[in-house]
Amino acid sequence: MNKKLIDWPTFISALILLLAVSIPLAVFPKAGKVIVNMANSFVTGNFGVMYLIFGLAAFAFLIFVAFSKNGHIKLGDKHEDREFGTISWAAMLFAAGIGSSILYWGMIEWAHYYQGPPFGIEGGSKEAIQWAPAYGIFHWGPMAWAIYTLPSLPIAYFYYVRKKPVLKISEAVRPVLGKAVDTPLGNLIDVLFMFGLMGGAGTTLALGTPMIAQGVNEITGLPPNLATKTVIMLLCTAIFAVSAYSGLRRGIKVLSDINLWLAIFILAFIFVVGPTVFISETTFTSLGLILNNFFKMATWLEPFANVGGFTETGFPEAWTVFYWAWWLVYAPFVGLFVARISRGRTIQEMILGTIIYGTLGSVLFFGIMGNYGLHLQLTGTFDVVGYMNETSAQAAIIAILGHLPMAGIMVSLFTILAIIFLATTFDSSSYILAAVVQKEVQREPLRWNRLFWAFTLCLMPLVLMYVGDLKTLQTASIVAGFPVLFIMGLLTWSFMKASNEDLRASKGYEPPTIYINRREILQRTPERSQKQSTSESSEDVTPDK
Ligand code: NM2
């Protein structure tokens, strides 16, 4: 055990912060809930606009970088090959960035929009039906993936180009903060990021565990109670602990490969045996609706709520702001991970790859799984919305799957997929948490360190589940992510500063501003100057005509 490698101040502060939040929540659950909800409405109510501006700015900025000079910088040495093939890379990226939540929301998000649509549209109306399958894709689409990609720029740049073997957020803002990174400010940045990530992962667990429990109930008849949920959580921890222990290549790769094939199989099955034409058409039409309304959706905040006869729907805070916040808390983590697997690619490939493959994956899940349920609803085969309101979203998800042929097998496969998805997210989260509390990461973070964070990650959701309030945790995580918004600003600035400095200092660099010396051109090309002078003179006379 090499204790010297550990950055103890960060390690201990992160642990203390985690305990300082979860112990009072566990001891005073009622008061805790009130405080967390107040903090949540304060942040999303007052700063919602900041989240939306951030989402749009992140997207615009990345597109700009991808096609600028900085986008052509290679992450690695001149002759270095890509460490992972593109398919493997895309699958790992997707499996790390997306957890079991896509199974949950992909199946059921439309039902929420169906009965509670945006823009003052009436719930259940024809217009609401059109927005229902589109909004989910938007919330998991290119803007969301852009939020994920942003931190991978500085991190990958410092790791592969400046060759600093530290997978740390604070290290990635050194060009801006300078020596201040070595003071407690640097530790604070890392701790806030770790806290946000633990919160975000808690949200994933809060949604995923009851859904898996419902699947297990359908298969085995075991009641979806506290004991079942605890076993599920521990099982997922055990899976990711084992894979964490076996290292990045074997652990995450094997699991995400299984994940990929299982997901492809389930999606293909639903697509083929389900209403194929309806699924294709609705997905395609939804894409058009999003493209047509991209800015409307990206900026809609209900400023006139409760004034001048407008009624408040709460939609922006409950959905778009919540989602951007949730992607945000995961972003530095996914950024670290994407950076780690992108050796040998250019920055442009990394940016476009993440946004395109990520969005494509989301479109497949939402388009196929969501529209299968929507079809059941619209044809009157199964009233998904009614059933969801009577029971729960997770019960509705499993009931939708129950309408497929070979329902028993499909529910089992879906449940296994959810378990692996949960395990891969935790696998990579523990990898990153461990990396952040190390002074240096040579190939992998230390094993005991990874295991420690694997179990710690489970601790808070487990305690809160016993207290009976995973929802509070979900809300808390979003509040925990607020400081990450500022860290993201620093990360972006830092990337531009460092890469521009290096570009300017590189051999053969030419400044992007082109100065045209007209006299020199005319001297060098006399025949052209003659032609030009005749055309100029003819131009000169035009107005007199
Ligand atoms: N995001 C993609 O639970 C998960 O699927 C992990 C969730 C941020 C909404 C990520």
Backbone angles phi, psi at 392, to 5 degrees: -155, 165
Joined together, the tokens standing for residue 380 give 């009157």
**Which has the higher per-residue pLDDT, 318 or 328?**
328
**Which has the higher per-residue pLDDT, 537 or 157?**
157
Is the distance from the beta carbon of residue 151 to the nearest atom of ligand 1 less than 6 Å? no
427 Cα distance to chain centroid? 16
CATH architecture of 3-53+62-75+90-540: Up-down Bundle (1.20)
Residue having the nearest C-alpha atom to atom 8 of ligand 1: 327
Is the distance from the beta carbon of residue 99 to the nearest atom of ligand 1 less than 6 Å? yes
235 Cα distance to chain centroid? 24
CA of 504 to the centre of ligand 1 (A): 38
| Distance separating alpha carbons of residues 523 and 518, to the nearest angstrom | 9
Backbone angles phi, psi at 141, to 5 degrees: -100, -155
Lowest mean pLDDT among 269-273, 342-346, 509-513: 509-513
CA of 310 to the centre of ligand 1 (A): 33
pLDDT tens digits, one per residue of 367-403: 999 999 999 999 999 999 999 999 988 899 999 999 9
> Quick one: CA torsion of 269, 273, 275, 280, rounded to 10 degrees?
40
166: left (phi over 0), alpha (psi -120 to 50) or beta: beta
Is pLDDT above 70 for 473? no
CA of 103 to the centre of ligand 1 (A): 10
DSSP 8-state code for residue 343: T
Lowest mean pLDDT among 391-400, 418-427, 465-474: 465-474
Is the distance from the beta carbon of residue 330 to the nearest atom of ligand 1 less than 6 Å? yes
Q: What 3-state class would DSSP assign to 438?
A: strand
Tell me which H or E stretch contains 221.
Answer: none
Beta carbons within 8 Å of 166's beta carbon, 6+ residues apart: 158, 159, 438, 439, 440, 441
Joined together, the tokens standing for residue 516 give 């045209």
Query: For 227-252, what is the mean pLDDT?
Result: 73
Q: Using 50, 70 and 90 to split pLDDT, how confident is the model at 542?
A: very low
Is the distance from the beta carbon of residue 248 to the nearest atom of ligand 1 less than 6 Å? no
Joined together, the tokens standing for residue 167 give 């997978």
* Residue in 136, 113, 115 with CA at minimum distance from that of residue 124: 115
**What local confidence, expressed as pLDDT, does residue 477 receive?**
63
Is the distance from the beta carbon of residue 98 to the nearest atom of ligand 1 less than 6 Å? yes
pTM of this structure: 0.87
Query: For 35-55, what is the mean pLDDT?
Result: 84
Joined together, the tokens standing for residue 284 give 């395609």
Beta carbons within 8 Å of 425's beta carbon, 6+ residues apart: 95, 96, 98, 99, 100, 201, 204
**What local confidence, expressed as pLDDT, does residue 538 receive?**
46
HSE of 485, CA atoms in CB hemisphere, 13 A: 22
Q: In testing the pocket of ligand 1, which one of 93, 101, 107 has its CB within 8 Å of the most ligand atoms?
A: 101
Query: DSSP characters for 228-281?
Result: HHHHHHHHHHHHHHHHHHT-IIIIIHHHHHHHHHHHHHHHHHHHHHS-HHHHHH
Backbone angles phi, psi at 454, to 5 degrees: -60, -45
Q: What 3-state class would DSSP assign to 40?
A: helix
Is the distance from the beta carbon of residue 429 to the nearest atom of ligand 1 less than 6 Å? no
CA of 534 to the centre of ligand 1 (A): 66
Is pLDDT above 80 for 166? no
Lowest mean pLDDT among 99-113, 118-132, 168-182: 168-182
Query: For 15-34, what is the mean pLDDT?
Result: 81
**What local confidence, expressed as pLDDT, does residue 78 receive?**
82
* Residue in 479, 339, 491 with CA at minimum distance from that of residue 51: 479
| Distance separating alpha carbons of residues 50 and 465, to the nearest angstrom | 32
Residue having the nearest C-alpha atom to atom 10 of ligand 1: 98
Beta strands in 256-388 (DSSP E): none
**Which has the higher per-residue pLDDT, 507 or 297?**
297
Average pLDDT of the residues of the chain: 84
Is pLDDT above 70 for 68? yes
DSSP 8-state code for residue 511: -
Q: In testing the pocket of ligand 1, which one of 204, 333, 369 has its CB within 8 Å of the most ligand atoms?
A: 204
CA of 354 to the centre of ligand 1 (A): 15
30 Cα distance to chain centroid? 31
CA of 493 to the centre of ligand 1 (A): 26
HSE of 56, CA atoms in CB hemisphere, 13 A: 13
| Distance separating alpha carbons of residues 114 and 396, to the nearest angstrom | 14
| Distance separating alpha carbons of residues 297 and 290, to the nearest angstrom | 8
Lowest mean pLDDT among 15-24, 298-307, 519-528: 519-528
β-strand partners of 438: 6
* Residue in 358, 362, 370, 369 with CA at minimum distance from that of residue 269: 369
Query: For 294-318, what is the mean pLDDT?
Result: 81
| Distance separating alpha carbons of residues 158 and 172, to the nearest angstrom | 7
- Count other Cβ atoms within 10 Å, centred on residue 77: 12
Query: For 119-127, what is the mean pLDDT?
Result: 89
HSE of 369, CA atoms in CB hemisphere, 13 A: 31
Residue having the nearest C-alpha atom to atom 2 of ligand 1: 98
| Distance separating alpha carbons of residues 317 and 338, to the nearest angstrom | 29
Is pLDDT above 50 for 541? no
Beta carbons within 8 Å of 238's beta carbon, 6+ residues apart: none
Is pLDDT above 60 for 62? yes
pLDDT tens digits, one per residue of 180-228: 888 888 888 888 888 888 878 777 877 888 889 988 988 888 888 888 8
pLDDT tens digits, one per residue of 487-503: 899 999 999 999 999 98
